[in-house]
């Protein structure tokens, strides 16, 4: 199969949008059209609602959608991680059952990986799955589950063999979240938001056909999910933008999409603050007059230097990738650098706000944004892999330094755990 | 020289780097660096001639019309990175970076002959700008130039002049007595009233001198420009080149330290297998790569003709200063006791790191310069939006009338 060129794709998507885009259509009907035409997820394979396009052509399609102000397939939340995992490891039955409703937005998903006893050491999961007839019976507790309160489906990592070594005894499932054995409770964070949930699973049922991949191969499947999560986080950090299509929104379909976003995007409102809001530092220093303080000037300059250099490092990685060069160290540093930037940003915001850093809500500078920054930054060096784990990854995979001696080999049931 | 900033070197630039690296690895191992740094001149004149004849290196950034290779500042910076990696002592910094930048920025026409003699490698020039007071705060500089017939006489003291004692020609920044503005002057090494005292330095691969001028004869090359724009540009280009040199040095320190942690065995394991070591190396890698990104970006911005070059140059210089010193400190720490010995090479780079940290302005000074540059651009945009607001209110009152 030959790949069409950019101009041809631009023409094709443009004339398709001219003929089909209708702001007064219903959201679901429109997205079903996207599924059938392949324009919803052009990067997906042709056999599964896509067009098999490489990233550069996908960008062309996105640009044209942005230009037309047209609504795209549903993308927010965990759904695309679920889709990527199913596309790689799912059966045709799985793909038929779930992929369409992922794009239309009719289903939302969550990721049941972390547990109270296994955070960084994800493979130490102790949620159990036991086969009874044609059903898997699930028991255990998951945590940090974004969107679990509205998700229809969960990606579940559970232990099926306690005598195998820990990475070999896990199996991957898709679990129906709407069943009596699944109880979801919000988990309130130190910044007052409750973006995550605890999920208590008691004798919940997963039909055998909802097992993804082989028994005992769950770790490899979960790695696919996490690789996509990391890639997406890198995209967010390097500032890839959604286009400016949000400036022009009118018609029924936009109202429906706004309602959907209200639910799906709610957990993420504080994420920009978690990253430190470097963009607010200079305007705040100028507006408050604190820009005259030599210490503010020094620390602000440090922040701006670090944050620009971080962005240039990401662009260097992309340029090398586009030139087909092997990935250098610059590609693996983004997450750890983001922690440094966030911490420096909170330091600068504190230097600027001085005593008012003690205030919260509408009494805090910028109607609470500064307080939210100060109370959210501690999450950035933990979520999605702690700084400590990132340092291990850089040292072992990028610098090829030898691994630490391990104490968790042999049958899982003999390994010390929480 | 205008275009867009790039994030990857071209094939040609990569080839240039490879060939220069091979040349320097062969001709300038640390055993040789140690010999040269203890010699009287402080550099290897024969090797410098080979660099000119075989690689056209002295004029790499000088226009073809002036006999140079006609490449951009990016290529100058690639060369600097390789020099920083090997610490090969040469006139490149004094002649091909500092003097070349000053001539190109302040005397592009009158300096043509000097530029072409720098490009051929025949002439070793040194830039005498900084004084005993004030780092690169031009307003504090006191050295004066008094016109006498066709020529000028210079009086004053210049400090921390790279290769100031070895150069054949000094390019001196002095204040014209009649108009109080700064300009660039040419003073020959044998001028009467010129006294050059080599300074004792911590990094003997980079020689510095104190230069006293007492009625020394000089030729006027060109003015420093409105708001010292020519001097600012000289400092920008030099700081960017220095930042890239520092990146070369810290990269070498990082690689050597990583190799050492893999070799060294304590408590029955390679020390590279300890998390305490791995985490330090991961953190150091971040600082090195951030400094590299900033240094490369600034070099490319110089070639692209970006108008916030001072901001970018100071950003790159301040990041590189801190990262290089950190790399040097970590290198010694992770080598342990042997890293503190004279025979181990680590201290050669430590000394370069320490002197580069403050050369051309400390990181604190450069961070302050970043913020000043930002404030200027904020003022400009406020002025602009003020003008626009004025126009709008003018329109409105017109409509009301």
Contacts of B289 in chain A (CB under 8 A): 313, 329-330, 333
Residue B297 touches partner A, C-beta closer than 8 Å? yes
Q: Does position A45 have pLDDT exceeding 60, yes or no?
A: yes
Q: How much is the mean pLDDT over chain A?
A: 92
Size of interface A-B (CB pairs under 8 A): 119
B11-27 vs B73-86: helix axis angle to the nearest 10?
A: 30
Q: Does position B391 have pLDDT exceeding 80, yes or no?
A: no
Higher per-residue pLDDT: A407 or B80:
B80
Please name which of B380, B216, B238, B218 lies closest in space to residue B317, comparing C-alpha atoms. B238
Best A303, A401, A403 member to test B by mutation, with max B CBs in 10 Å, is A401
- CB distance A399–B258 less than 8 Å? yes
Contacts of A237 (CB under 8 A, 6+ apart): A275, A310, A314, A334, A335, A338
Nearest-angstrom CA–CA distance, B64 and B181: 31
Domain A270-398: which CATH class? mainly alpha
Please name which of B276, B294, B284 lies closest in space to residue B256, comparing C-alpha atoms. B284
A99 token code pair: 């992929």
Contacts of A318 in chain B (CB under 8 A): 7
Nearest-angstrom CA–CA distance, B249 and A51: 48
Q: Does position A219 have pLDDT exceeding 90, yes or no?
A: yes
- pLDDT number for residue A323: 82
Residue B262 touches partner A, C-beta closer than 8 Å? yes
- CB distance B368–A340 less than 8 Å? no
Q: What is the mean pLDDT of residues A39-52?
A: 95
Q: Does position A326 have pLDDT exceeding 90, yes or no?
A: no
- CB distance A392–B278 less than 8 Å? yes
Higher per-residue pLDDT: B237 or A319:
B237
- CB distance B290–A318 less than 8 Å? no
- CB distance A312–B274 less than 8 Å? no
Contacts of A301 in chain B (CB under 8 A): 315, 318, 367-368, 370-371
Contacts of A341 in chain B (CB under 8 A): none
Please name which of A394, A328, A381 lies closest in space to residue B277, comparing C-alpha atoms. A394
Which of the residue ranges A2-11, A230-239, A313-322, B170-179 would you say has the lowest mean pLDDT?
A230-239
Q: What is the pLDDT of residues B236-288, one digit of tens each?
A: 999 999 999 999 999 999 999 999 999 999 999 999 999 999 999 999 999 99
- CB distance B286–A336 less than 8 Å? yes
Q: State which H helix or E strand residue B11 sits in.
A: helix B11-27
Where does the pLDDT of residue B233 fall: very low under 50, low under 70, confident under 90, or very high at 90 and above? very high
Q: Where are the alpha helices (DSSP H) in A90-151?
A: 92-104
Nearest-angstrom CA–CA distance, B380 and A395: 46
Which among A330, A340, A402 has the least Cβ separation from residue B270? A402
Nearest-angstrom CA–CA distance, A188 and B100: 62
Best B5, B290, B311, B316 member to test A by mutation, with max A CBs in 10 Å, is B290
Nearest-angstrom CA–CA distance, B18 and A416: 52
- pLDDT number for residue B394: 41
Question: Phi/psi of residue A395, each to 5°?
Answer: -65, -45
- pLDDT number for residue B2: 53
Which among B282, B286, B368 has the least Cβ separation from residue A297? B368
Where does the pLDDT of residue A241 fall: very low under 50, low under 70, confident under 90, or very high at 90 and above? very low
Which among A302, A315, A404 has the least Cβ separation from residue B273? A404
Q: Does position A244 have pLDDT exceeding 80, yes or no?
A: no
- pLDDT number for residue A177: 98
Best B286, B294, B296, B368 member to test A by mutation, with max A CBs in 10 Å, is B286
What percentage of chain A carries pLDDT values higher than 70? 95
Q: What is the pLDDT of residues A120-165, one digit of tens each?
A: 899 999 999 999 999 999 999 999 999 999 999 999 999 999 999 9
Contacts of A43 (CB under 8 A, 6+ apart): A50, A51, A52, A53, A54, A55, A58
Which among A282, A318, A333 has the least Cβ separation from residue B285? A333
Region at A110 (left for phi over 0; alpha for psi -120 to 50; beta for the rest) = beta
Q: What is the mean pLDDT of residues B349-361?
A: 98
Q: Does position A246 have pLDDT exceeding 50, yes or no?
A: no
Which among B274, B279, B315 has the least Cβ separation from residue A305? B315
Chain B residue with minimum CA distance to A306: B290
Q: How much is the mean pLDDT over chain B?
A: 94
Residue B317 touches partner A, C-beta closer than 8 Å? no
Contacts of B272 in chain A (CB under 8 A): 401-402
Q: How far is B206 from chain A (nearest CA, A)?
A: 28
What percentage of chain B carries pLDDT values higher than 90? 89
Q: How far is B191 from chain A (nearest CA, A)?
A: 43
Where does the pLDDT of residue B392 fall: very low under 50, low under 70, confident under 90, or very high at 90 and above? very low
Q: Angle at Cα B95 formed by Cα B91 and Cα B97, nearest 5°?
A: 105
Which of the residue ranges A36-40, A253-257, A391-395, B376-380 would you say has the lowest mean pLDDT?
B376-380
Best A278, A312, A403, A406 member to test B by mutation, with max B CBs in 10 Å, is A312
The CA–CA distances, whole Å, from B64 to A208, A336, B51, B67 equal 75, 45, 17, 5
Where does the pLDDT of residue B388 fall: very low under 50, low under 70, confident under 90, or very high at 90 and above? low
Q: What is the mean pLDDT of residues B161-166?
A: 98
Contacts of B220 (CB under 8 A, 6+ apart): B110, B145, B152, B183, B184, B185
Please name which of A173, A186, A38 lies closest in space to residue A111, comparing C-alpha atoms. A173
Strands B169-176 and A211-212: unpaired
- Structural domains of chain B, ranges and CATH numbers in brackets: 11-92+107-123 (1.10.540.10), 126-226 (2.40.110.10), 229-381 (1.20.140.10)
Nearest-angstrom CA–CA distance, B90 and B163: 9
- pLDDT number for residue B401: 30
- CB distance A333–B374 less than 8 Å? no
A301 token code pair: 């300059």
DSSP class per residue in A152-192: SEEEEEEE--SSS-GGGSEEEEEEESSSTTEEEEEE--TTS
Q: What is the pLDDT of residues A166-183, one digit of tens each?
A: 999 999 999 999 999 999
Q: What is the pLDDT of residues B303-342, one digit of tens each?
A: 999 999 999 999 999 999 999 999 999 999 999 999 999 9
Best A309, A333, A344 member to test B by mutation, with max B CBs in 10 Å, is A309
Residue B396 touches partner A, C-beta closer than 8 Å? no
- pLDDT number for residue B379: 80
Domain ranges in chain A are 108-215, 270-398
Which of the residue ranges A312-321, A396-405, B182-191, B382-391 would you say has the lowest mean pLDDT?
B382-391
Q: Does position B396 have pLDDT exceeding 50, yes or no?
A: no
- CB distance A309–B315 less than 8 Å? yes
Q: What is the pLDDT of residues B12-33, one digit of tens each?
A: 999 999 999 999 999 999 999 9
3-class DSSP assignment, residue B161: strand
Q: What is the pLDDT of residues B363-380, one digit of tens each?
A: 999 999 999 999 998 888
DSSP class per residue in A251-296: SHHHHHHHHHHHHHSGGGTTHHHHTT-GGGHHHHHHHHSGGG-HHH
Question: What is the number of other CB atoms lying within 10 angstroms of the CB of residue A289?
Answer: 9
The CA–CA distances, whole Å, from B41 to B131, B169, B207 equal 23, 15, 9
Question: What is the number of other CB atoms lying within 10 angstroms of the CB of residue B132?
Answer: 13
Which residues sit opposite A186 in a β-bridge?
Answer: A197
- CB distance B7–A318 less than 8 Å? yes
Q: What is the mean pLDDT of residues A320-334?
A: 80
ipTM of the predicted structure? 0.93
- pLDDT number for residue A242: 43
Q: How far is B60 from chain A (nearest CA, A)?
A: 25
- pLDDT number for residue A262: 84
Chain B residue with minimum CA distance to A300: B371
Q: Does position B384 have pLDDT exceeding 80, yes or no?
A: no
Fold of A108-215: Butyryl-CoA Dehydrogenase, subunit A; domain 2 (2.40.110)
Which among A305, A392, A403 has the least Cβ separation from residue B319? A305
Chain B residue with minimum CA distance to A398: B282
3-class DSSP assignment, residue B242: helix
- CB distance A329–B258 less than 8 Å? no
Contacts of A331 in chain B (CB under 8 A): none
Please name which of A65, A101, A227, A245 lies closest in space to residue A174, comparing C-alpha atoms. A101
């Amino acid at each position: 199969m030959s790949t069409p060129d950019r101009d041809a794709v631009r023409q094709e998507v443009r004339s398709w949008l001219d003929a089909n885009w209708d702001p007064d259509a219903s959201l679901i009907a429109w997205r079903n059209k996207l599924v059938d035409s392949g324009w919803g997820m052009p990067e997906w394979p042709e056999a599964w609602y896509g067009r098999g396009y490489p990233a550069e052509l996908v960008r062309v399609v996105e640009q044209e959608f942005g230009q037309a102000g047209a609504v795209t397939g549903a993308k927010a939340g965990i759904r695309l991680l679920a889709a990527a995992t199913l596309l790689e490891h799912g059966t045709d039955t799985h793909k038929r059952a779930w992929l369409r409703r992922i794009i239309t937005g009719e289903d939302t998903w969550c990721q049941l990986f972390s547990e109270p006893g296994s955070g960084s050491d994800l493979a130490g999961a102790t949620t159990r799955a036991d086969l009874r007839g044609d059903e898997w019976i699930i028991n255990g507790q998951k945590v940090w589950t974004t969107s679990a309160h509205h998700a229809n489906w969960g990606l579940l990592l559970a232990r099926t063999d306690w005598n195998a070594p820990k990475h070999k005894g896990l199996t991957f499932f898709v679990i129906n979240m709407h069943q009596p054995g699944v109880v979801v409770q919000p988990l309130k964070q130190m910044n007052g938001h409750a973006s995550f949930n605890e999920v208590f699973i008691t004798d919940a049922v997963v039909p055998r056909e909802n097992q993804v991949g082989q028994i005992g191969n769950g770790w490899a499947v979960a790695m696919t999910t996490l690789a996509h999560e990391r890639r997406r986080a890198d995209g967010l950090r390097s500032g890839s933008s959604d286009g400016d299509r949000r400036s022009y929104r009118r018609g029924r379909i936009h109202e429906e999409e706004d309602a959907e976003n209200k639910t799906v995007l709610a957990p993420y409102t504080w994420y920009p603050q978690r990253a430190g809001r470097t963009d607010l530092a200079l305007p705040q220093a100028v507006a408050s007059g604190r820009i005259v303080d030599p210490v503010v000037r020094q620390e602000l300059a440090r922040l701006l230097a670090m944050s620009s250099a971080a962005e240039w490092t990401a662009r260097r990685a992309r340029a090398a990738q586009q030139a087909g060069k092997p990935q250098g160290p610059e590609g693996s540093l983004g997450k750890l650098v983001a922690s440094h930037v966030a911490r420096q940003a909170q330091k600068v915001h504190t230097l600027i706000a001085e005593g008012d850093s003690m205030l919260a809500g509408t009494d805090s500078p910028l109607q609470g944004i500064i307080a939210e920054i100060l109370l959210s930054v501690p999450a950035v060096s933990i979520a999605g892999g702690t700084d400590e784990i990132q340092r291990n990854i850089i040292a072992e995979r990028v610098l090829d330094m030898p691994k630490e001696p391990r104490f968790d080999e042999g049958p899982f049931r003999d390994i010390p755990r929480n | 020289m205008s275009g867009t900033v790039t994030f990857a070197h071209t094939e040609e630039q990569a080839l240039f780097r490879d060939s220069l690296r091979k040349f320097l690895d062969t001709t300038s191992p640390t055993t040789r660096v140690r010999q040269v740094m203890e010699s009287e001149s402080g550099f290897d004149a024969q090797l410098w001639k080979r660099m000119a004849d075989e690689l056209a290196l002295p004029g790499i950034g000088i226009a073809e019309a002036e006999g140079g290779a006609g490449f951009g500042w990016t290529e100058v910076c690639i060369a600097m990175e390789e020099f920083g990696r090997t610490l090969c002592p040469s006139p490149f910094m004094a002649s091909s970076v500092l003097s070349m930048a000053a001539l190109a920025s302040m005397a592009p026409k009158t300096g043509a002959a000097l530029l072409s003699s720098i490009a051929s490698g025949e002439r070793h020039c040194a830039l005498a700008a900084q004084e005993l007071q004030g780092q690169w705060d031009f307003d504090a500089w006191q050295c004066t130039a008094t016109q006498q017939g066709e020529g000028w006489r210079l009086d004053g003291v210049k400090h921390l002049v790279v290769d100031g004692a070895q150069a054949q020609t000094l390019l001196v920044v002095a204040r014209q007595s009649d108009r109080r503005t700064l300009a660039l002057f040419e003073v020959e090494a044998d001028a009467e009233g010129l006294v050059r005292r080599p300074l004792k330095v911590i990094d003997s691969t980079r020689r510095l001198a104190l230069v006293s001028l007492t009625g020394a004869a000089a030729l006027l090359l060109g003015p420093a420009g409105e708001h010292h724009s020519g001097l600012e540009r000289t400092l920008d280009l030099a700081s960017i080149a220095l930042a890239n040199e520092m990146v070369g040095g810290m990269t070498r320190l990082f690689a050597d330290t990583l190799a050492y942690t893999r070799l060294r065995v304590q408590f029955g394991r390679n020390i590279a297998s300890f998390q305490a070591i791995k985490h330090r190396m991961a953190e150091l890698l971040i600082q090195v790569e951030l400094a590299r990104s900033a240094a490369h970006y600034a070099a490319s911005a110089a070639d692209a003709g970006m108008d916030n070059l001072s901001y970018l140059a100071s950003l790159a210089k301040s990041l590189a200063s801190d990262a290089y010193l950190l790399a040097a400190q970590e290198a010694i720490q992770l080598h342990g006791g042997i890293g503190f010995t004279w025979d181990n090479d680590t201290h050669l780079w430590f000394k370069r790191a320490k002197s580069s940290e403050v050369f051309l302005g400390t990181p604190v000074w450069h961070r302050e310069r970043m913020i000043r540059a930002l404030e200027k651009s904020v003022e400009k945009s406020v002025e602009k939006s003020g003008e626009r607001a004025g126009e709008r209110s003018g329109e409105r009152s017109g409509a009301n009338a």
